[in-house]
C-alpha cells in the first residue's frame, strides 16, 4: 500500500487537518484546571486577607501619628467629660476643628490627614441606615469642646452575621463610616475603671497619658464594631451576641486576632484571648480569671473561641 494511504499518528487520514481533543481528553483538562483552582484559591484568599491586614495596620499607624500629635498638643490628654465618655469625634476629626478657629475646615480632617480615608479596615463590612439604628445619649454628643451644635448622633451596626461590622456616625451629615474603636478609659480624667470626682476644671480632660507606665500594653485604638468601648473589669466574661465590655473588640475580622495601636504608638496584632491581658484601665488585672495565669480552662470559653491561642 502506498504510504500516503496510511493513517496519521494523530488519528487523521493523510491529507486531513489536525484532529481536536476528544471528549474524554477535554474532560481531563477541565478536571485538572478545576483541581489546580481548588488548590490555589485558598492560598490566594489567604494572601488577599494578609494584604488587607497590612493595609489595616498601615492605617492604624497613621492614626497613631494623629493621636500622638493630639496628645502632644494638649498636654498628654484626650477630650473627655465628667461622664467619662470617649472622644468619639476624634475619629471623625469634625468637632476638634473648632469652628471659631477654622470655619472652613473640612468635615473629616485632622492634623492634615483625611480621617475618612483611614477610618476603615479593608475587611470591615459596611452597615446601612436600615440596619439597627442605635441612638447615643445626648450627654455624649454634648461633651466635646466645640462651638458646633452637633445634636444626637446615631450608630448603625453592620450585619451581625458577618462577625466584623463597621459602624456609622449619622449626625452631623454626611455619614461617616468607621471600623476602629477607642479605649474609653483613656478619655476619663484619671484612667480609672469607675468614675471618681474630678474638679470642674478637669472635667473635659482625659487621663494624662504621659504619666502612665507600661504604655506598650495600654490599647488606644483597635479593630472594633463600635466607636469606643472597653471592659471595666478583668472578670468580664467572653462576649456573646449583644454583650458589653469586650464585645466591640472581640471579633474575627482578622480570623483569630485584631489590629491595634498602643500608647507607645506601636501597631501590632492582638490575639482575641490576648485582649484579657491588656491594661485597659488603672485597676484592670492583666492576670485575671480569663488568662492562663488566672487559671482559665479551654472549656470555659465559648465554643468558637476554644481553639484560639491562649495567653
pLDDT digits (tens, 9 = 90+) for 47-106: 888 889 999 999 999 999 999 988 998 889 887 754 445 567 778 776 544 444 555 555
* Mean pLDDT (whole number) for 193-210: 73
Tens of pLDDT, residues 206-255 = 888 999 999 999 999 999 988 888 898 898 888 765 556 888 899 888 98
Tens of pLDDT, residues 45-59 = 778 888 899 999 999
Cell digits of residue 117: 480615608
- Residue 114: predicted pLDDT: 78
Closest CA to 81 of 135, 133, 146: 146
The model's confidence at residue 39, banded by pLDDT at 50, 70 and 90, is: confident
Cell digits of residue 130: 436600615
The stretches of the chain forming alpha helices (DSSP H) are 23-73, 89-92, 138-141
Beta bridge partners of 165: 125
Residue percentage of the chain with pLDDT more than 90 = 30
Cα–Cα dist 281/199, whole Å: 20
Q: What's the pTM value of the predicted model, to 2 decimals?
A: 0.78
Amino acid at each position: 500500500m502506498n504510504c500516503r494511504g496510511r493513517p496519521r499518528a494523530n488519528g487523521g487520514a493523510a491529507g486531513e487537518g489536525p484532529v481536536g481533543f476528544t471528549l474524554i481528553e477535554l474532560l481531563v483538562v477541565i478536571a485538572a484546571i478545576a483541581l489546580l483552582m481548588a488548590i490555589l484559591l485558598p492560598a490566594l484568599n489567604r494572601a488577599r486577607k494578609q494584604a488587607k491586614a497590612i493595609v489595616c495596620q498601615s492605617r492604624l499607624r497613621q492614626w497613631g501619628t494623629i493621636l500622638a500629635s493630639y496628645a502632644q498638643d494638649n498636654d498628654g490628654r484626650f477630650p473627655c467629660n465628667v461622664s467619662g465618655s470617649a472622644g468619639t469625634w476624634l475619629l471623625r476629626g469634625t468637632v476638634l476643628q473648632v469652628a471659631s478657629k477654622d470655619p472652613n475646615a473640612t468635615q473629616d480632617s485632622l492634623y492634615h490627614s483625611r480621617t475618612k480615608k483611614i477610618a476603615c479596615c479593608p475587611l470591615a463590612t459596611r452597615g446601612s441606615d436600615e440596619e439597627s439604628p442605635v441612638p447615643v445619649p445626648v450627654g455624649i454628643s454634648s461633651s466635646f469642646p466645640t462651638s458646633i451644635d452637633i445634636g444626637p448622633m446615631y450608630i448603625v451596626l453592620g450585619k451581625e452575621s458577618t462577625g466584623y461590622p463597621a459602624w456609622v456616625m449619622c449626625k452631623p451629615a454626611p455619614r461617616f463610616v468607621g471600623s476602629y474603636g477607642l479605649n474609653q478609659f483613656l478619655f476619663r480624667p484619671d484612667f480609672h475603671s469607675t468614675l471618681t470626682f474630678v474638679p470642674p476644671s478637669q472635667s473635659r480632660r482625659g487621663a494624662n497619658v504621659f504619666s502612665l507606665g507600661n504604655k506598650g500594653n495600654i490599647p488606644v485604638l483597635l479593630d472594633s464594631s463600635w466607636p469606643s468601648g472597653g471592659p471595666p473589669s478583668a472578670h468580664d466574661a467572653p462576649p456573646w451576641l449583644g454583650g458589653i465590655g469586650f464585645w466591640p473588640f472581640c471579633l474575627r475580622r482578622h480570623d483569630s486576632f485584631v489590629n491595634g495601636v498602643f500608647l507607645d504608638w506601636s501597631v501590632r496584632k492582638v490575639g482575641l484571648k490576648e485582649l484579657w491581658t491588656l491594661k485597659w484601665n488603672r485597676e484592670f488585672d492583666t492576670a485575671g480569671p480569663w488568662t492562663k495565669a488566672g487559671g482559665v480552662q479551654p472549656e470555659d470559653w465559648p465554643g468558637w473561641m476554644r481553639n484560639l491561642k491562649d495567653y
